[in-house]
Amino acid sequence: MALSDSAFKAVLLGIFDAMSSAASGSPKNNEWYAGELAKAIDDQVKTADVLPGIAVAGDTASGGALVGAATSAKGKIE
């Protein structure tokens, strides 16, 4: 799945709504808020597909395989 602005926005709105509704009940602190934002960003990035075709310059001077071949297929950020 590609990065989705609308899905990310929905998650963020859920976090903001939880903060707003908690103000009248049991308040949520900045640590909770930061943790929820970090998780939302992490989830968004880790579930996104990385499309092939990214230009990568590489060589085998470090003793490994040429890095460029890794961009020939879809992948994920982990």
Q: Where are the domains of the chain?
A: 1-47, 51-78
Which tens digit of pLDDT belongs to each residue from 31-76?
988 999 999 999 888 887 766 766 555 555 555 555 555 556 666 6
Task: Kindly report whether the global pTM for this prediction surpasses the value 0.75.
Answer: no
Looking from the CA of 6 toward its CB, the CA atoms found within 13 Å total 1
Closest CA to 48 of 69, 15, 75, 70: 75
Buried b (16+ CB within 10 A) or exposed e, 29-62: eeeeeeebeeebeeebeeeeebeeeeeeeeeeee
